[in-house]
Amino acid sequence: MKNTQSTRLYMVLKKVCTPLLGRIYHHSVQGQENLPAGGAILASNHLAFCDSLFIPMSVPRQVFFLAKSDYFTGTGLKGRLMRWFFSGVGQIPMDRSGGAKSQASLNQGINKLHEGCYLGIYPEGTRSPDGRAYRAKIGVAKLALSARVPVVPIGQIGTDRVQPLGTNAVRFKNADGSAITVETRIGKPLDFSEYWDRASDHKVQRLVADRIVEAIRELSEQEYVPVYAADVKDRMKKHHVTAEEAIAEITRSSHG
């Protein structure tokens, strides 16, 4: 059954942000007819924080996102405000430490899907360090197979012009003064029902995750890098190298 559950803060912000951002940026949406009536995972590439604004603007129902647990664990006034905000817009804390804690986070997402909701997730696990697409974490596959729901691939184009890569700074115009164009491309749902009975099989999880990212890349038209974005960003920070240099080092290490 279709679920119309939504949080009040989410709906208020959507009513305010949709016309506001629509005046500032040229935002085009393709493929809304591909959105299922029931629960589904909306899986997107991740170039900027504002992806989490443009995707909800493109979807008529609320999107509940899996968000890093750091947003919910801060202290002091800032921590309380962040916790209030992210909880109010329906974000679900995602513990990335692995094991039982990560599974508990995924279970919260599965519950939302069973309620018939849309669950947003970025399969790469973090924002791209250089605009390219990176290998998917298998969490998205675990969710899809365990909840037995379709996965809708989404390709975001242009959000890295709104927020340049590696920063949270916001641009309102291109360098030449022209309006920034953002495209949200919604693909046809991916059906993985043939693998539902093998949901705990790691090879199946890897296969499903790779297929999801492949479908996203067909929409986003990004170059693919077969390593994890988080590993690249960690190496960039620790060794003060570029993304390209970090990728080369990771590749050498894996072959050595």
What confidence tens digit (pLDDT) does each residue in 61-100 have?
Answer: 999 988 777 777 778 888 888 888 887 787 888 766 667 7
Query: What are the residues whose beta carbons fall under 8 Å from the beta carbon of 100, sequence distance 6 or more?
Result: none
Query: What are the residues whose beta carbons fall under 8 Å from the beta carbon of 189, sequence distance 6 or more?
Result: 34, 36, 40, 150, 151, 152
240: left (phi over 0), alpha (psi -120 to 50) or beta: left
User: At 217, phi and psi to the nearest 5?
Assistant: -65, -35
Per-residue 3-state assignment (H helix, E strand, C coil) for 215-252: HHHHHHCCCEECCCHHHHHHHHHHHCCCHHHHHHHHHH
Structural domain boundaries of the chain? 8-225, 227-256
Fold of domain 8-225: Glycerol-3-phosphate (1)-acyltransferase (3.40.1130)
192-215 per-position pLDDT tens digit: 999 999 999 999 999 999 999 999
Instruction: Give pLDDT, residue 41.
Output: 98
* Closest of 144, 149, 142, 122 to residue 133, by C-alpha: 122
Instruction: Give pLDDT, residue 97.
Output: 64
Instruction: Give pLDDT, residue 205.
Output: 97
C-alpha 54/C-alpha 42 separation (Å) is 13
User: At 105, phi and psi to the nearest 5?
Assistant: -65, -45
Q: Which residues of the chain have pLDDT under 50?
A: 1-4
C-alpha 114/C-alpha 134 separation (Å) is 29
User: At 134, phi and psi to the nearest 5?
Assistant: -120, 170
DSSP, collapsed to helix, strand or coil, labels residue 155 as strand
